[in-house]
Amino acid sequence: MKKLLSMLLGILGLCGILFFASHQLSESQGSVTTKNTLNLFNWGDYLDPALIKKFERETGYHVQYETFDSNEAMYTKIKQGGTSYDLAVPSDYMIEKMRKANLLLPIDKNKLTHFNNLDPMFLHKSFDKNNRYSIPYFWGTLGIIYNDQKVKASEMQHWDDLWNPKWKDSIMLVDSARDIMGLALISQGHSVNTTNTSEMVAAQSKLNKLSGNVKAVVADEIKLYMIQNEAPIAVTWSGEASEMLAGNSHLHYVVPSEGGNLWFDNMVIPKTAKNKKAAYAFINFMLRPENAAQNAEYVGYATPNKAAKKLLPASVRNDKQFYPPESTIKKLEVYADLGAKKVEEYNDLFLKFKMYR
């Protein structure tokens, strides 16, 4: 009986130790999460890993880095509130949508030490006119990639050049309704943000006439296909284009002078953020010229940080393919949040075009 009682006491004692250890571990993890960790939600491969280590080393914060592959996926996860992200990097129209849904905290500019490094040309845009909720991270354009082994520069300068019968089965399009519908709208003299159904239908009808020239409508694999000479022409974003050009010296990127899309990815603080202090520390860290320049070289996208741009190699900062002149930028439009009904209409028309092929 004494032996049994001794065993029971021993088991209870062990349970007590395990409970205490578990409690301490839980408290320790909670402390790391709320006090010492920055929960960052960003696009995949959109931040130089060396900068994460540098930030952790300088500030003492641990970066919990999670990625998303679409603005819609990011929006859904933040709205559901399962994870309290301290900082996220959505695109222009999605920032407008998140603001309308009351998912963002205003930015306290008094806490920003390097805000003046940003180029005024990329501030106060339609989706956040006073940059009350967002800080520019990267920007870029939609344009045309062509291979000089099969296409002359003079043959591919405008959206309408894509419709030349010479390019039968030669074009790859990025799988994006707003972008491909947008180029057709621009070619017809309309806004990429039109909500006029007749203009949208006319754009889809014009795209149908392009179908014979389209080899494929693809997603991320478009980069590899163009590098491997699978097609002589493609329509994609400037950041994707930069990777293509790095992998194939015969590729070139052009932004049609008649206009197109100017996109932005900006840093925002979700309303559910637990560590706002860490969020501001990271924003300030990324606004420092040397860090913004390093990230731009790693990712290959254009930096909105005018001080950082000066630190980039001359071959990069003077490349009009990715830093087009202001005269061209002024003709570019930022996508607006058109509401669920109109977005669905764009998607349906784009799907009809893909099925038409």
For the segment 197-229, what is each residue's pLDDT rounded down to a tens digit? 999 999 999 999 999 999 999 988 999 999 999
Please indicate whether the domains covering 35-139+264-317 and 140-262+325-356 agree at the CATH topology level: yes
Q: Which comes out higher in pLDDT, residue 325 or 20?
A: 325
CATH superfamily membership of 35-139+264-317: Periplasmic binding protein-like II (3.40.190.10)
**Given this model, what pLDDT does residue 34 score?**
62
Mean pLDDT along residues 159-172:
98
Q: What's the pLDDT tens digit per position in 19-63? A: 444 444 444 444 345 679 999 999 999 999 999 999 999 999 999
**Given this model, what pLDDT does residue 25 score?**
42
Q: What percent of the chain has pLDDT over 70?
A: 90
Query: Which residues are CB-contacts of 307 (< 8 A; sequence separation ≥ 6)?
Result: 117, 289, 292
Q: What's the pLDDT tens digit per position in 271-318? A: 999 999 999 999 999 999 999 999 999 998 999 999 999 999 999 999
Q: What percent of the chain has pLDDT over 90?
A: 82
Q: Which comes out higher in pLDDT, residue 99 or 83?
A: 99
Mean pLDDT along residues 104-122:
97
**Given this model, what pLDDT does residue 13 score?**
52
Average pLDDT, the chain: 91
**Given this model, what pLDDT does residue 8 score?**
47
Spatial separation of the C-alpha atoms in residues 203 and 201, rounded to whole Å: 5
Domain covering 140-262+325-356 assigned CATH 3.40.190.10 in the classification = yes
Other CB atoms within a 10 A radius of the CB of residue 33 amount to: 15
Domain parsing of the chain, residue ranges: 35-139+264-317, 140-262+325-356
Spatial separation of the C-alpha atoms in residues 205 and 72, rounded to whole Å: 27
Spatial separation of the C-alpha atoms in residues 312 and 323, rounded to whole Å: 12
Q: How many residues does the chain have?
A: 357
Q: What's the pLDDT tens digit per position in 122-154? A: 999 999 999 999 999 999 999 999 999 999 999
**Given this model, what pLDDT does residue 10 score?**
54
Q: Categorize the per-residue pLDDT at 5 as very low, low, confident or very high, splitting at 50, 70 and 90.
A: very low
Q: Residue 110: pLDDT above 60?
A: yes
Spatial separation of the C-alpha atoms in residues 125 and 93, rounded to whole Å: 11
**Given this model, what pLDDT does residue 33 score?**
52
Burial 247-272 (b: 16+ CB within 10 A, else e): ebeebbbbbbeebbbbbbbbbbbbeb
210 DSSP assignment? H
